[in-house]
Chains A and B, each alone.
Chain A
Amino acid sequence: MANVQLAKNLWSMKFKAPEIIEEYFGAGQFISILVCDTWEHPLRRPMSIADVKGDCISIIYKTVGAVTKSLAKMHPGDSINVLGPLGNTFTGWEDGRDSILVGGGVGLAPMLNLHKMVKTSTIIIGARTSEEHFLSHSPQEGIFLTTDDGSIGIRGTVIPTLESQVMSKQNPKIFACGPEPMLKAVQSFALENQIPTQLSVESYMACGIGICQGCAIKKTEKEGIMRQTYHEKYDLVCVNGPVFSAEEVTFD
């Protein structure tokens, strides 16, 4: 229905998907897209749901490789095959005053989705330069942009801004989705400061519905795990996630 460029390498696509909306139950869930039915790109591509309005769904995607680039070339009237909604949701965000959302790049979609649910929450969006941002830096409204080069918003990674926002809340909670280095940094900050945190993680996926066992993510090691177990050491991002608490998962 619409396919527009938001910023450098960042696009938004909106399309009709009433059947998916019927089963949709919240921010964090994703869909899996097959752009064309030839075998040039065998696997579906997972994409978080960025917005649900009427009978339309939006995604926000970064053009990183062949499939996302071909997605950017699509026009109203073209069709794609979509499987979903898949995965779980963020939880416990209802009190916006305490909720801090952190996103960037490929992880922008679920955070903007959540931000629409809790307008009073604070959102921090990281990028390398101003070219990759499309919102405006407006701290009064709780929207903070950061850039590595300081070309817009606050210079640096999202972490210093996250720190100062955490300080200003009574019972801060963090919700984050983005590139792995960002998630790692948010996770270690959260664990050090014992702040309840949920991370939406990524993993290479084949089926998206829990049958291929492909999208494993390492769980934080627990004491007393027996040698021969199933899903004690690894979870599946597609059905157990993509949202995990910061204590649950380990990045390598």
Chain B
Amino acid sequence: MTDLRIKIGDITFSNPVFTASGTFGYGTEVSDLTDVSKLGAIVTKSVTLFPREGNPPPRVVETPAGMINSIGLANVGVERYIREMIPLYDNIGTKVIMNIAGTTLEEYCDVLEKVEVISSNICGYEINISCPNVKKGGMQFGVDSSMTEALTAEMRKRTERLIIMKLSPNVTDITSIAKAAENGGADAVSAINTVVGMSIDSETGKSQIYTTYGGLSGPAIKPIGLATVHKVYQSVNIPVIGLGGITTGLDAVEYLLAGAVAVQVGTATFRHADAGEQIINELHQFGDSKSIEKISSLTGAVKTYTK
């Protein structure tokens, strides 16, 4: 049987399949539909310093092989997250990565500090510097390498836990942002967040999303995610977590080959809440059929025509 364990920083995960932020709630809501303990880790919805209502509806729409969302980071805020969600992680049976979003450097720091001072099962933080759906937001960080480096360094100062910087594909040169995260002291980067998209109803002439533009996710963005992961993998020495349109074990394999050490599953969980579990099973099948000893041997092993 293939060894699915992978390592990021000092932490060993039982397998490389995580949930993607914003598509699995806070990790405890769907326990009746899937065995959360099977997952390598769960990544929570973005948590901000204060609660957020999110954007007016419509917030979601289906598009070819994907969907556009503009949720606007609706979340309970860090105080309530600490009070109500964190205690539930004691018995969750898997690793928890908390995703943090903010609008200023101070806000990111405040959220992290509040969580750092309490003891909890959280093993790391994914820092969302790439949400396309808030007017004033993380996106400012995600498009600017010096801000990314400064933010990463501030986070690094405040925690020993894993720091994973989540990158946006909506930039001119993602490798410079990834390098900035590495220079700032990140343990890993994850890519990609959603791709800016728009949907129009030709019948009514209406834009289908309240904020006009939203974030495209699902199989439609898989090729973009793969290319991004491959580029980032080649430009940094820290692990890359790959995501964007993963719905099967073979999709996960492609991401690993492109350079990812682990993957996250997002939109696919809206169709099947146990998509992550299925993907783990399929990874096992793939590993067995190819007699792969360690899944980690796939990372970056893609054969390209040119160097």
Contacts and interface: CB of A to CB of B under 8 A. Distances in A.
Contacts of A228: 50-52, 77
B59 A213 contact: yes
Interface string B53-69: 11111111111111101
Contacts of B272: 81
Interface in A166-217: 203-217
Contacts of B60: 43, 204-206, 212, 214-215
A234 B63 CA distance: 24
A39 B247 contact: yes
A234 B62 CA distance: 21
Interface secondary structure of A, over-half rule: loop
Interface secondary structure of B, over-half rule: loop
Given A209-B33, A214-B59, A40 B50 contact: no
Chain A interface size, under 10 / 10 to 19 / 20 to 34 / 35 or more:
20 to 34
Interface in B52-90: 52-67, 69, 71, 74-77, 80
B51 A204 contact: no
B270 A207 contact: yes
Given A42-B271, A44-B271, A210-B25, A234 B67 contact: no
Contact of B53 (A43, A203, A232): A232
A97 interface: no
A41 interface: yes
B218 interface: yes
B69 A212 contact: yes
Q: Most chain-B CB neighbours within 10 Å: which of A34, A37, A207?
A: A207
B53 A233 contact: yes
A43 B69 contact: no
A44 B54 CA distance: 23
B114 to A, nearest CB: 15
B175 to A, nearest CB: 29
A217 B210 CA distance: 12
Contacts of A213: 22, 45, 54, 59, 71, 74
Interface of B: 22-25, 29-30, 33, 45, 50-67, 69, 71, 74-77, 80, 218-219, 247, 267, 269-273
10 contacts: A40-B64, A41-B62, A204-B57, A211-B269, A212-B71, A213-B71, A214-B71, A218-B56, A230-B76, A234-B54
